[in-house]
A = this chain, B = another copy of it.
Protein backbone atom coordinates (compact mmCIF):
# COMPACT_ATOMS: atom_id res chain seq x y z
CA UNK A 1 0.00 0.00 0.00
CA UNK A 2 1.32 3.41 -0.89
CA UNK A 3 1.25 6.12 1.72
CA UNK A 4 -1.66 8.51 1.50
CA UNK A 5 -2.03 11.92 3.05
CA UNK A 6 -4.41 14.60 4.13
CA UNK A 7 -3.11 18.11 4.81
CA UNK A 8 -5.67 20.28 6.57
CA UNK A 9 -8.32 17.88 5.36
CA UNK A 10 -7.26 17.97 1.71
CA UNK A 11 -5.78 15.16 -0.36
CA UNK A 12 -2.81 17.14 -1.58
CA UNK A 13 0.49 15.48 -0.94
CA UNK A 14 2.51 18.60 -0.35
CA UNK A 15 3.33 21.01 2.41
CA UNK A 16 4.28 24.70 2.38
CA UNK A 17 8.09 25.09 2.57
CA UNK A 18 7.54 27.86 5.14
CA UNK A 19 5.74 25.53 7.53
CA UNK A 20 7.36 25.80 10.94
CA UNK A 21 7.19 22.03 11.27
CA UNK A 22 9.96 21.88 8.68
CA UNK A 23 11.83 25.04 9.65
CA UNK A 24 12.08 24.33 13.39
CA UNK A 25 10.45 20.98 14.13
CA UNK A 26 7.77 23.20 15.70
CA UNK A 27 5.06 20.60 16.18
CA UNK A 28 4.05 17.26 17.67
CA UNK A 29 2.93 13.84 16.41
CA UNK A 30 1.27 10.53 17.30
CA UNK A 31 1.28 7.18 15.53
CA UNK A 32 -1.31 4.45 16.12
CA UNK A 33 -3.02 1.52 14.42
CA UNK A 34 -6.46 1.84 12.87
CA UNK A 35 -8.30 -1.46 12.71
CA UNK A 36 -11.49 -1.89 10.70
CA UNK A 37 -11.44 1.87 10.26
CA UNK A 38 -11.34 2.58 14.03
CA UNK A 39 -8.26 4.12 15.70
CA UNK A 40 -7.05 2.03 18.63
CA UNK A 41 -7.11 3.89 21.97
CA UNK A 42 -8.12 7.10 20.21
CA UNK A 43 -9.11 8.91 23.39
CA UNK A 44 -5.68 8.38 24.92
CA UNK A 45 -3.84 9.35 21.74
CA UNK A 46 -5.92 12.48 21.30
CA UNK A 47 -5.43 13.49 24.92
CA UNK A 48 -1.64 13.18 24.58
CA UNK A 49 -1.65 15.02 21.25
CA UNK A 50 -3.67 17.78 22.84
CA UNK A 51 -1.49 17.92 25.99
CA UNK A 52 1.65 18.06 23.85
CA UNK A 53 0.20 20.87 21.72
CA UNK A 54 -0.70 22.81 24.85
CA UNK A 55 2.80 22.39 26.24
CA UNK A 56 4.19 24.12 23.14
CA UNK A 57 1.41 26.72 22.92
CA UNK A 58 -0.06 25.23 19.74
CA UNK A 59 -3.86 25.16 19.38
CA UNK A 60 -4.73 21.50 18.92
CA UNK A 61 -7.41 20.82 16.29
CA UNK A 62 -10.65 19.40 17.70
CA UNK A 63 -10.86 15.63 18.16
CA UNK A 64 -13.91 15.58 15.90
CA UNK A 65 -11.97 17.24 13.08
CA UNK A 66 -9.13 14.74 13.33
CA UNK A 67 -11.58 11.84 13.54
CA UNK A 68 -13.28 13.12 10.38
CA UNK A 69 -9.86 13.15 8.71
CA UNK A 70 -9.21 9.57 9.81
CA UNK A 71 -12.59 8.50 8.44
CA UNK A 72 -11.92 10.31 5.16
CA UNK A 73 -8.57 8.55 4.82
CA UNK A 74 -9.49 5.02 5.95
CA UNK A 75 -12.04 2.57 4.62
CA UNK A 76 -14.27 0.87 7.16
CA UNK A 77 -12.51 -2.43 6.52
CA UNK A 78 -8.97 -1.11 6.56
CA UNK A 79 -6.19 -2.09 8.98
CA UNK A 80 -3.51 0.59 8.70
CA UNK A 81 -1.23 2.91 10.63
CA UNK A 82 -2.10 6.59 10.97
CA UNK A 83 0.46 9.23 11.89
CA UNK A 84 -0.93 12.61 12.88
CA UNK A 85 1.43 15.60 12.78
CA UNK A 86 0.28 18.96 14.14
CA UNK A 87 2.61 21.89 13.42
CA UNK A 88 2.33 25.50 14.54
CA UNK A 89 1.60 26.35 10.89
CA UNK A 90 3.25 28.60 8.35
CA UNK A 91 5.52 31.40 9.40
CA UNK A 92 7.58 34.17 8.01
CA UNK A 93 11.33 33.98 8.62
CA UNK A 94 12.31 34.05 12.29
CA UNK A 95 11.56 32.20 15.50
CA UNK A 96 8.83 34.56 16.75
CA UNK A 97 5.42 32.90 16.55
CA UNK A 98 3.14 34.78 14.13
CA UNK A 99 0.13 36.07 16.08
CA UNK A 100 -2.28 34.50 13.60
CA UNK A 101 -0.50 31.17 13.16
CA UNK A 102 -2.98 28.50 12.03
CA UNK A 103 -1.87 25.00 12.96
CA UNK A 104 -1.25 22.58 10.10
CA UNK A 105 -2.68 19.09 10.51
CA UNK A 106 -1.12 16.31 8.51
CA UNK A 107 -2.39 12.73 8.48
CA UNK A 108 -0.30 10.03 6.86
CA UNK A 109 -1.71 6.56 6.26
CA UNK A 110 0.64 3.65 5.80
CA UNK A 111 0.57 -0.16 5.91
CA UNK A 112 0.64 -1.95 9.26
CA UNK A 113 4.21 -3.13 9.82
CA UNK A 114 4.65 -6.87 9.36
CA UNK A 115 6.79 -7.79 12.36
CA UNK A 116 8.39 -11.25 12.48
CA UNK A 117 6.29 -13.63 14.60
CA UNK A 118 9.37 -14.49 16.70
CA UNK A 119 9.43 -10.98 18.12
CA UNK A 120 6.19 -11.85 19.86
CA UNK A 121 6.90 -15.49 20.70
CA UNK A 122 10.60 -15.38 21.51
CA UNK A 123 11.43 -11.74 22.18
CA UNK A 124 13.86 -9.26 20.68
CA UNK A 125 17.42 -8.06 20.79
CA UNK A 126 18.47 -4.47 21.53
CA UNK A 127 21.53 -2.32 20.92
CA UNK A 128 22.98 -0.10 23.65
CA UNK A 129 23.25 3.36 22.09
CA UNK A 130 26.39 5.44 22.51
CA UNK A 131 24.44 8.65 21.97
CA UNK A 132 23.22 10.04 25.29
CA UNK A 133 19.93 11.95 25.43
CA UNK A 134 20.22 15.62 26.36
CA UNK A 135 18.29 16.85 29.39
CA UNK A 136 15.70 19.46 28.41
CA UNK A 137 12.98 19.48 31.09
CA UNK A 138 10.98 22.10 29.15
CA UNK A 139 10.05 19.57 26.44
CA UNK A 140 10.73 16.21 28.13
CA UNK A 141 7.96 13.67 27.60
CA UNK A 142 6.53 15.54 24.60
CA UNK A 143 6.34 13.68 21.29
CA UNK A 144 7.64 16.71 19.36
CA UNK A 145 9.23 16.90 15.92
CA UNK A 146 12.81 17.53 17.16
CA UNK A 147 13.95 13.95 16.79
CA UNK A 148 17.54 14.18 15.53
CA UNK A 149 18.73 12.32 18.61
CA UNK A 150 16.54 9.36 17.67
CA UNK A 151 17.76 9.48 14.07
CA UNK A 152 21.43 9.58 15.08
CA UNK A 153 20.94 6.83 17.67
CA UNK A 154 19.19 4.65 15.06
CA UNK A 155 22.18 5.12 12.72
CA UNK A 156 24.39 3.31 15.26
CA UNK A 157 23.41 -0.19 14.10
CA UNK A 158 22.63 -1.92 10.83
CA UNK A 159 22.10 -5.50 12.06
CA UNK A 160 18.52 -6.34 11.07
CA UNK A 161 18.29 -8.71 14.06
CA UNK A 162 18.39 -5.70 16.40
CA UNK A 163 14.97 -4.10 16.71
CA UNK A 164 15.70 -1.02 18.82
CA UNK A 165 18.38 0.77 20.83
CA UNK A 166 18.46 1.61 24.56
CA UNK A 167 19.04 5.30 25.23
CA UNK A 168 20.66 6.60 28.41
CA UNK A 169 20.94 10.21 29.49
CA UNK A 170 24.26 11.97 30.11
CA UNK A 171 24.27 10.77 33.75
CA UNK A 172 23.80 7.14 32.72
CA UNK A 173 20.13 6.79 33.63
CA UNK A 174 18.12 4.44 31.41
CA UNK A 175 15.42 6.52 29.64
CA UNK A 176 13.79 4.69 26.72
CA UNK A 177 14.51 3.18 23.31
CA UNK A 178 14.54 5.07 20.01
CA UNK A 179 10.97 4.06 19.10
CA UNK A 180 9.63 2.50 22.29
CA UNK A 181 9.37 2.87 26.05
CA UNK A 182 10.90 0.39 28.45
CA UNK A 183 9.87 -1.45 31.64
CA UNK A 184 11.96 -3.68 33.88
CA UNK A 185 10.53 -6.32 36.23
CA UNK A 186 12.15 -7.13 39.56
CA UNK A 187 10.03 -9.86 41.21
CA UNK A 188 6.43 -8.66 41.03
CA UNK A 189 7.33 -5.00 40.60
CA UNK A 190 7.57 -3.12 37.31
CA UNK A 191 9.66 0.03 36.95
CA UNK A 192 9.71 2.45 34.03
CA UNK A 193 11.99 5.51 33.87
CA UNK A 194 11.00 9.05 34.80
CA UNK A 195 10.61 11.14 31.65
CA UNK A 196 10.92 14.56 33.25
CA UNK A 197 14.33 15.45 31.79
CA UNK A 198 14.20 13.72 28.39
CA UNK A 199 12.36 10.96 26.55
CA UNK A 200 8.91 10.54 25.02
CA UNK A 201 5.94 9.48 27.13
CA UNK A 202 4.11 6.97 24.96
CA UNK A 203 0.45 6.03 25.27
CA UNK A 204 1.30 2.33 25.65
CA UNK A 205 3.68 3.13 28.52
CA UNK A 206 0.79 4.88 30.28
CA UNK A 207 -1.58 2.00 29.56
CA UNK A 208 0.87 -0.48 31.10
CA UNK A 209 1.28 1.73 34.17
CA UNK A 210 -2.51 1.76 34.49
CA UNK A 211 -3.21 -1.93 33.84
CA UNK A 212 -0.24 -3.61 35.56
CA UNK A 213 -1.82 -3.67 39.05
CA UNK A 214 -4.76 -5.67 37.70
CA UNK A 215 -2.23 -8.30 36.52
CA UNK A 216 -0.69 -8.44 40.00
CA UNK A 217 2.28 -6.18 39.38
CA UNK A 218 3.22 -3.09 41.33
CA UNK A 219 4.42 -0.17 39.18
CA UNK A 220 6.92 2.55 39.95
CA UNK A 221 8.06 5.43 37.76
CA UNK A 222 11.60 6.18 38.84
CA UNK A 223 15.19 6.64 37.68
CA UNK A 224 17.42 3.60 37.33
CA UNK A 225 20.79 2.90 35.76
CA UNK A 226 22.12 0.29 33.34
CA UNK A 227 23.17 -1.97 36.23
CA UNK A 228 19.57 -2.15 37.43
CA UNK A 229 18.48 -2.91 33.87
CA UNK A 230 20.96 -5.80 33.62
CA UNK A 231 19.84 -7.14 37.01
CA UNK A 232 16.14 -7.14 36.07
CA UNK A 233 14.28 -10.46 35.94
CA UNK A 234 12.60 -9.34 32.73
CA UNK A 235 12.78 -6.35 30.42
CA UNK A 236 10.09 -5.33 27.98
CA UNK A 237 9.74 -2.56 25.41
CA UNK A 238 6.40 -1.18 24.25
CA UNK A 239 4.79 1.07 21.72
CA UNK A 240 1.40 1.54 20.09
CA UNK A 241 2.18 -0.57 17.04
CA UNK A 242 3.59 -3.82 18.46
CA UNK A 243 2.23 -3.59 21.98
CA UNK A 244 4.94 -5.22 24.14
CA UNK A 245 7.97 -7.37 23.35
CA UNK A 246 10.29 -9.10 25.76
CA UNK A 247 13.94 -8.08 25.51
CA UNK A 248 16.03 -11.27 25.35
CA UNK A 249 19.40 -9.72 24.57
CA UNK A 250 21.19 -6.40 25.09
CA UNK A 251 24.81 -6.52 23.93
CA UNK A 252 26.29 -9.54 25.81
CA UNK A 253 23.47 -9.80 28.36
CA UNK A 254 20.82 -12.48 27.78
CA UNK A 255 17.51 -12.98 29.59
CA UNK A 256 15.54 -16.25 29.73
CA UNK A 257 12.08 -16.38 28.17
CA UNK A 258 9.35 -14.87 30.34
CA UNK A 259 5.61 -14.35 30.24
CA UNK A 260 5.27 -10.63 31.06
CA UNK A 261 5.18 -9.33 27.47
CA UNK A 262 2.53 -11.84 26.41
CA UNK A 263 0.38 -11.06 29.45
CA UNK A 264 0.63 -7.34 28.78
CA UNK A 265 -0.13 -7.79 25.07
CA UNK A 266 -3.26 -9.75 25.93
CA UNK A 267 -4.55 -6.73 27.83
CA UNK A 268 -3.19 -4.04 25.50
CA UNK A 269 -4.96 -5.59 22.52
CA UNK A 270 -8.38 -5.39 24.14
CA UNK A 271 -10.36 -2.78 22.25
CA UNK A 272 -11.36 0.40 24.00
CA UNK A 273 -15.09 0.97 24.24
Contact = CB atoms under 8 A, between A and B. Distances in A.
B97 A148 contact: no
A154 interface: yes
Given A14-B15, A92-B110, A148 B144 contact: yes
A114 to B, nearest CB: 13
B148 A25 contact: yes
A237 B148 CA distance: 27
A25 B26 CA distance: 9
Interface stretch (A131-139, A187-195, A210-218): A131-139
Contacts of A94: 154, 179
Contacts of A5: 17
Interface string A136-150: 101100001111111
A16 B15 contact: yes
Interface residues of A, number: 59
A135 B138 contact: no
A96 B5 CA distance: 21
A93 B106 contact: no
A23 B26 CA distance: 10
A267 interface: no
A272 to B, nearest CB: 23
Nearest to A15: B15
A147 B24 contact: yes
Given A134-B136, A179-B95, A22 B22 contact: yes
Given A23-B147, A146-B147, 13 more contacts: A3-B18, A13-B17, A15-B19, A21-B22, A22-B106, A26-B147, A83-B93, A93-B113, A134-B135, A134-B198, A136-B149, A138-B149, A139-B152
22 contacts: A13-B17, A14-B14, A14-B16, A15-B16, A17-B106, A22-B22, A22-B106, A24-B145, A25-B25, A25-B145, A83-B93, A93-B108, A93-B110, A95-B154, A96-B154, A134-B134, A134-B135, A134-B136, A135-B170, A144-B148, A145-B148, A146-B146
For the complex of A and B, 5 pairs with smallest distance between CB atoms: A14-B14, A25-B25, A134-B134, A146-B146, A134-B136
